[in-house]
Amino acid sequence: MYVLKTQYWVNGKMEVGDKKPVKERVSPDTGFVDDVGAPKKGEHPEAVIYWEEDNKVHKEVIKLKKQK
């Protein structure tokens, strides 16, 4: 499996990430967003990850929630 790109969305708007089509593998050296502040009350952050496995591109949306 190879990570192709990652994105960080808040309330349906991409805050950080690449809008370009997936063209190259970025893993294993890919990182993720570390320069955004904590979500404010009422914001709904999501991480979107694109990866390739068996020559097929997949997309996963992960809703981020504060742990209690």
pTM of the model: 0.72
Chain segment 8-31, per-residue pLDDT in tens: 899 999 888 877 766 666 655 555
Q: Which residues contact 31 (CB under 8 A, 6 or more apart)?
A: none
According to the model, what pLDDT value does residue 29 have? 58
Confirm if 7 and 47 have CB atoms less than 8 A apart.
yes
Confirm if 57 and 50 have CB atoms less than 8 A apart.
yes
Q: Per-domain residue ranges for the chain?
A: 2-63
String of DSSP letters for 11-31: TTEEEEE--SPP-S--TTS--
Has residue 33 got a pLDDT over 60? no
Chain segment 53-65, per-residue pLDDT in tens: 898 989 999 998 8
